[in-house]
Amino acid sequence: MDATTQTNDGPTSASAQAAQGRRFAGIDCGTNSIRLLISEVLPDGTLNELNRDNIIVRLGQGVDATGRFADEALERVDAALSTYADRMVEFGVEDVMMGATSATRDAANREEFFSLTRRHLSRIKDGLQAEVISGEREAELSFNGAVTDLGELGPQERVCVIDLGGGSTEFVVRTADGSVNQAYSANMGCVRLTERYLHGQPPASDEIEAARGYVRELLGDVREVVELGAVDRVVGVAGTMTTMSSITLGLTEYQPERNHMSVHRLEDFRATARDLLGRTTEQRMELGPMHPGRADVIGGGAVVVDEFTTLFLNQGLETITISEKDILDGILAEVVKRNS
């Protein structure tokens, strides 16, 4: 298992916790990784981030072909949640929400997954287990997290947040009246596309064209629901986007603080995607910001990025903003809200 951890404040003893704010956590279980965020509610109502973790578990391994979670994938999730439960206990977390997304919606043996989540999350609060999040709600949670640090949006500004995951990609637009009522979850993600189409490393031209055709078809479905043609600003979130951001910035290692709210020319971001698509897994690993658990599947994400950047360039847009905050921050906000 590959893990990354950011800790802003260490765990405290039970006696010390009484003098601090209430602590809550959010867990995002996607197709490729499972992530934990722990924050403390300060007296003024703002959140102080204490800990972020990311473990690559590849829960979606083979799901597209078999319709079931692989035994080894469930074992990886079990181990990751054991680590996360220990960490939440150490930090004094009193409530947590675990969102389960694309792969969980597809799996026939999903009850095995829910049983193991219940075993670990009940250590924090009796009866808790992972919650299935619909594609549309996933998109809204991603939007709320992504725009946290974007600054005040103009009343007529239309922002499109794109959350590119392992099994699906969510598109959500805040419309001119300020409401978030256009959202669509498309079944295209880095793991799904790689397993279905991109069998070579690097993939052959016919494999790439088949993947492009599939993505273009799904983008047509997106445009029937979400007004992409009226978008003024694009924000990209999740691991594929932030990894490409680091590479586009020319970083020698992954630096979330450099990625967050970075602005890239769409042409440069597309060039990064195309370069990654043409590399072998080993050549991708030569790029410092590349996570070992992402190198073999990022080609699928690169196809998605190539297609949507081309779409927006053809509409006259020039840049994309990358946010390190996403659905995980939106999930945490839900936990805080239900405890307020």
pLDDT tens by residue, the chain, 340 residues: 555 555 555 554 443 444 468 999 999 998 778 999 999 999 988 889 999 998 989 887 887 788 888 899 999 999 999 999 999 999 999 999 999 865 676 688 888 999 999 999 999 999 999 998 876 677 778 788 888 888 777 767 889 999 998 888 989 998 666 666 788 889 999 999 999 999 998 999 999 999 999 999 999 999 999 999 989 999 999 889 999 999 999 999 999 999 999 999 999 999 999 999 999 999 999 999 998 889 999 999 999 999 999 999 999 999 999 999 888 998 999 999 999 8
Cβ(88)–Cβ(124) below 8 Å:
yes
Name residue 238's amino acid. A
Q: How far apart are CA 136 and CA 183, in angstroms?
A: 5
Q: Are residues 319 and 334 in the same domain?
A: no
Name residue 155's amino acid. P
Residue 145, domain member (yes or no)? no
Q: Are residues 188 and 116 in the same domain?
A: no
Q: Which residues of 184-220 are buried (b: 16+ CB within 10 A; e: fewer)?
A: bbbbbbbbbbbbbbbeeebbeeebbebbbebbeebbe
For 34, the token pair is 């499972």
Q: Are residues 85 and 182 in the same domain?
A: no
Residue 141, domain member (yes or no)? no
Q: Are residues 174 and 304 in the same domain?
A: yes
Q: Are residues 312 and 166 in the same domain?
A: yes
Q: Are residues 281 and 311 in the same domain?
A: yes
Query: Which CATH number covers residue 96?
Result: 3.30.420.40
Instruction: Tell me which residue range forms the domain holding 53.
Output: 17-134+328-339
Q: Are residues 315 and 333 in the same domain?
A: no
Residue 2, domain member (yes or no)? no
Residue 44, domain member (yes or no)? yes
Q: Are residues 162 and 263 in the same domain?
A: yes
Q: How far apart are CA 25 and CA 28, in angstroms?
A: 10
Compute the Cα dihedral for 7, 10, 14, 15 and give only its sign: negative
Q: Are residues 190 and 297 in the same domain?
A: yes
Residue 6, domain member (yes or no)? no
- Report how many domains make up the chain: 2
Residue 79, domain member (yes or no)? yes
Residue 97, domain member (yes or no)? yes
Q: How far apart are CA 113 and CA 92, in angstroms?
A: 25
Q: Are residues 118 and 165 in the same domain?
A: no
Cβ(31)–Cβ(105) below 8 Å:
no
Compute the Cα dihedral for 108, 110, 115, 120 and give only its sign: positive
Cβ(289)–Cβ(243) below 8 Å:
yes
Query: Which CATH number covers residue 277?
Result: 3.30.420.150
For 168, the token pair is 């699906």
- Which long-range contacts does 119-123 make (Cβ < 8 Å, 24+ apart)? 120/78, 120/81, 120/82, 120/84, 120/85, 121/81, 121/85, 121/96, 123/85, 123/88, 123/89
Q: How far apart are CA 69 and CA 83, in angstroms?
A: 21
Residue 47, domain member (yes or no)? yes
Supply the DSSP symbol for 171: E
Residue whose entry in the numeric block shows the structure tokens 């949640």 = 81
Q: Are residues 202 and 318 in the same domain?
A: yes
Beta bridge partners of 28: 35, 99
Strands (E), the chain: 2-7, 23-29, 33-41, 47-56, 95-100, 131-132, 159-164, 169-174, 180-186, 233-237, 262-265, 319-322
Q: Are residues 103 and 219 in the same domain?
A: no
Cβ(335)–Cβ(247) below 8 Å:
no
For 329, the token pair is 């921050």
